[in-house]
Amino acid sequence: MSRRRTFRTLVGQKAGLVVPGAYDGVSARLVERAGFPAAYMTGYGASASRLGLPDLGFAGLAEMADHARNLAAAVQIPLIADADTGYGNALNVRRTVQAYEAAGVAALHVEDQAAPKRCGHLSGHEVILRGEFAGKIRAAVEARSDPDLLIIARTDAISAVDFDEALRRGEAAAKAGADVLFIEAPRAEAQVERIAREFDTPLLYNYAPGGRSPLLPFARLRELRYAIILLPVDTLFVAAKAVADFLRDLRAGDDVRSLADRYIAFGEFNDLIGVTAQLALAERYRDDGG
């Protein structure tokens, strides 16, 4: 089966797939090497790692689609990608879906925030009208050429309006053809449970460290039949702390040799990025002088 068909089948089981975020090609390969069934291209991490800027809409369609293409090409597992607001109106959403599909992603999510968008666990959100959001989801569904490409509808209405409006938007997105619903930032376990009761459509839970949602045990989310448990920025935060600690200790100790235990081995890293395989391929094409 294709990566998209495989992922669609896994999501349909509603078994709480744990999907770590990846912010670049190396982190995506590490997610794959660890044995996870899919990776997630985090918009927060893409903006931070690619631009050194917060997730406030600075990265546009061309940058994000290019980033998705690089991550999808780096791994064999399916990739979920953040497509923000779709970068405009319903017509822009159609182009976004086409660009992301060409990039090779298995799933993408489109949200109902008004520009400029922001991370779902910040404050000050504004959302577009519910009918406009439903139209954008319908445009996304109609724009895909591969029916196995999953369209994930994300609403930030809990933050921008209230919980009941978020449920109504989830219902509207499901009717518009969304394959997965992403009700962002529920505030309490009771809301998490209510979302699970309300919808038959597969659900995504954004397990954001330091965010507004309760970090329930994975087992509990599986009991509630959430299909995807997304760990959007964990790899980025872990990597940033490791690098910061290394640089702090290097500056303080003025001796890199004492920090040797912090390093991945040169050979192991070369294996991770495929040096041996690429050199073997180059040898295959070597000019033998004939």
Is 40 assigned a catalytic role? yes
DSSP 44-113: HHHIIIIIS--SSS-S-HHHHHHHHHHHHHH-SS-EEEE-TT-SSSHHHHHHHHHHHHHHT-SEEEEE-B
- The one catalytic residue in 24, 84, 101, 112 is 84
- The one catalytic residue in 23, 40, 87, 207 is 40
- The one catalytic residue in 184, 205, 207, 226 is 184
The residue assigned the tokens 């709480």 is 16
Is 257 assigned a catalytic role? no
- The one catalytic residue in 101, 111, 156, 179 is 111
- The one catalytic residue in 29, 125, 154, 169 is 154
Residue 239 tokens read as 């990597």
- The one catalytic residue in 24, 32, 55, 148 is 55
Is 179 assigned a catalytic role? no
Is 32 assigned a catalytic role? no
C-beta separation of 180 from 107 below 8 A: yes
- The one catalytic residue in 32, 82, 101, 148 is 82
Looking at this protein, which amino acid is placed at residue 259?
Answer: L
Is 125 assigned a catalytic role? no
C-beta separation of 208 from 232 below 8 A: yes
Is 92 assigned a catalytic role? no
- The one catalytic residue in 32, 69, 119, 138 is 119
Is 84 assigned a catalytic role? yes
Is 194 assigned a catalytic role? no
- The one catalytic residue in 4, 109, 118, 169 is 109
CA distance 189 to 164: 15
Is 55 assigned a catalytic role? yes
Angle between the N-to-C axes of helices 266-273 and 275-284, in degrees from 0 to 180, rounded to the nearest 10: 60
Is 119 assigned a catalytic role? yes
Q: Which residues are catalytic?
A: 40, 55, 82, 84, 109, 111, 119, 154, 184, 206
